[in-house]
Amino acid sequence: MTDANSDGLAGRLQAHFGARLLGLAEARGETTIELAPGDWASAGRELRDAFGFEQLVDLCGVDYLGYGEGEWDVADVSAEGFSRGVEGIAGPGRFRWEDRPAAATAPRRYAVVAHLLSVSRNQRLRIRCFAPDDALPVVPSLCEVWPGVNWFEREAFDLYGVVFEGHPDLRRILTDYGFIGHPFRKDFPLIGNVEVRYDPEKGRVVYEPVTSVEPRVGVPRVVRDDARFETARAESVARRAAGD
């Protein structure tokens, strides 16, 4: 992947898309571009036809809610313990949408990220598109361009509730028949909302609010700026210079 993108793909993308390119980043040998929802489908077609990206290998939703935020103030943990995780609705992953953590750095909450692969040119490209409306995220479908994206979009719809406009068959795919909610959203609790058991009196399977498990955080989420990887990076460069 590192040397595959070295033939100036970024430059060609910049020249081709111009102002339609909302963002372009190159990191770790990977190229990422950001597109507006309005350009999503047409740009996909151009990327396939003009840039040789015959394959869309992966598409997924991302929920940027709470990006870059630690779960606790680590300073007073020893005094209070990790109680926050077990106190009902207030715990991480147990907040309501109104009580969501504020000041997320991402411009919007839901993004759709796709990875393209050009078999003929041996290149990869990541394309991203933020849905304009957090309440009802809508992004155009790419099914017309790459038929193989069908199930990936169904999955993103199922797990994140992103609606793909123009998708021929937008049904849930991974969750249960009749499932309510979109489980991979950051405000959907890890333990779920309902649990299932067989009720011998009613003679059928019943859905009830979760009681058998408690929300719990084993290890707190800690965001740290870590200088030690700089050391590791320098060491690995030195090792490579020394010839393994």
Partner 1 sequence: MEIQSYTMNFGPQHPAAHGVLRLVLEMEGETVLRADPHVGLLHRATEKLAESKPFNQSIGYMDRLDYVSMMCNEHAYVRAIEALMGIEAPVRAQYIRTMFDEITRILNHLMWVGTNGLDLGAMAMFLYAFREREELMDCYEAVSGARMHATYYRPGGVYRDLPDAMPRYRESPWHKGKDVKRLNAWREGSLLDYLTAFTDDFPKRVDEYETLLTDNRIWKQRTVGIGVVSPELALAWGMTGPMLRGSGIAWDLRKKQPYAMYDRVDFDIPVGVNGDCYDRYLVRIEEMRQSNRIIRQCVDWLRANPGPVMLDNYKVAPPSRTEMKDDMEALIHHFKLFTEGYSVPAGEVYSAVEAPKGEFAAYLVSDGANKPFRLKLRAPGFAHLSSMDAVVRGHMLSDVVAMIGTYDVVFGEIDR
Q: Which CB atom, from 132 or from 183, has the smaller least distance to partner 1?
A: 183
Among 8, 11, 81, 147, the residue binding partner 1 under the rule CB under 8 A is 147
226 binds partner 1 (CB under 8 A): yes
DSSP code at position 167 = -
> How far apart are the C-alpha atoms of 174 and 158, rounded to whole Å?
7
Among 95, 113, 144, 181, the residue binding partner 1 under the rule CB under 8 A is 113
CB of 201 to partner 1, least distance (A): 27
Q: Which residues pair with 163 in a beta bridge?
A: 138
Candidates 112, 145, 116, 143; CA nearest to 37 is: 112
Q: Report residue 229: phi and psi, to 5°.
A: -75, -25
Please work out, in degrees rounded to the nearest 5, the angle formed at the alpha carbon of residue 80 by the alpha carbons of 75 and 82.
90
Q: Which CB atom, from 15 or from 236, has the smaller least distance to partner 1?
A: 236
CB of 162 to partner 1, least distance (A): 13
Please work out, in degrees rounded to the nearest 5, the angle formed at the alpha carbon of residue 189 by the alpha carbons of 192 and 95.
140
Candidates 152, 134, 126; CA nearest to 29 is: 126
182 binds partner 1 (CB under 8 A): no
Q: Which CB atom, from 38 or from 147, has the smaller least distance to partner 1?
A: 147
Near partner 1 in 16-75, by CB under 8 A? 27-28, 30, 32, 54-58, 60, 62-63, 67-70
Q: Which CB atom, from 68 or from 107, has the smaller least distance to partner 1?
A: 68
